[in-house]
Amino acid sequence: MENDVMKMHKLDMLEIPAGESFQFKPGGAHIMLIGLNAPLKDGEQIDLELILEGQGSMLINMPVKSQ
């Protein structure tokens, strides 16, 4: 918070210890997609590729949610 306004900052990496889980959610840690070719629609599903350091990658399916 800065002057009663929530500020966002970019994370280049998110560390999740082995055996633990993490949840992205509105108002908390979330993924912002920049430079899209078309707008996303609330309720649709999109595929995202997560790149895992030293472990390859993982394809996940996520719902699009407006605020």
Length of the chain: 67
pLDDT score at 47: 93
Rounded distance between C-alpha atoms, residue 26 and residue 44, angstroms: 16
Query: Domain range spanning residue 5?
Result: 1-67
Rounded distance between C-alpha atoms, residue 36 and residue 8, angstroms: 19
User: Over the stretch 10-44, which tens digit does the pLDDT of each residue have?
Assistant: 888 888 888 999 888 777 787 778 889 999 999 99
- Number of structural domains in the chain: 1
What's the whole-number mean pLDDT along residues 39-66? 89
pLDDT score at 44: 94
Threshold 0.75, pTM exceeds? no
